[in-house]
Amino acid sequence: MALLAGIQLLTPQGEAPVTAEVLLTQVQTMGRLQTVQHNYNGVLRHTTAKEAEDGWNAVPGVASLVHTTTRNDALITYRAQVRAGVDLRMVKVSGDPETGFTVTLPPTSVELAGVQARAEWVRPGFLWKDANVTLDAERVAGADAIEKARSAGIAEAAHTQAEIELRRLLEPLTEAEITFR
């Protein structure tokens, strides 16, 4: 849950009704609202290998021989954090105090906040040792964590939570109804 500190949203008694522009300015100055984080632990097997150069692929068996003799295998464990939220600078607010306000949120963004990968074992290729097999596996682990988070509905949860947080912050500003799109 994102903490939004240091923002004075309440208007003093007796001031003019809040306009859509005032609401929009208040929301947009908050910047990015991170509302959901998922943590993942995983294990994956990662393989790298060289490809046969240019014309050698046409020679029967060469591509397979090159792949087999340069294949590096690694068993990787990883921890990854995936965050989702909305960029409040892209929010749109329309309406007025008489008819109510409509807040249109931008699409939710999902991003990798961090990943730590560790090679539990590595089997180098016979003719080529890939020094970057763990680094490459870390990239794959990050993509795996993002895919798992998307499948688990992180974007939808972040969108819903953003609506809840914004409603909580904006309702004290106006008595008009606030709807979200």
In a domain, 13, yes or no: no
**Predicted local confidence at residue 10, as pLDDT:** 43
Percent of the chain's residues with pLDDT above 70: 91
In a domain, 47, yes or no: yes
Average pLDDT, stretch 126-141?
93
Q: Reduced to 3 states, what is the DSSP secondary structure of residue 25? A: helix
Average pLDDT, stretch 35-42?
96
Average pLDDT, stretch 11-19?
61
Q: How many domains does the chain have?
A: 1
Average pLDDT, stretch 165-180?
87
Containing domain of residue 168, as a range? Answer: 20-51+79-180
In a domain, 124, yes or no: yes
42 vs 174, higher pLDDT: 42
- Residue 36 pLDDT > 90: yes
DSSP 31: -
In a domain, 61, yes or no: no
In a domain, 5, yes or no: no
In a domain, 99, yes or no: yes
Q: Indicate the range of 73-77, 91-95, 121-125 predicted with least confidence.
A: 91-95
- Round the average pLDDT of the chain to a whole number and report it: 87
Average pLDDT, stretch 88-105?
89
In a domain, 11, yes or no: no
Give the Cα separation of 76 and 141 in Å (integer).
9
Residue 5 pLDDT level (bands cut at 50, 70, 90): very low
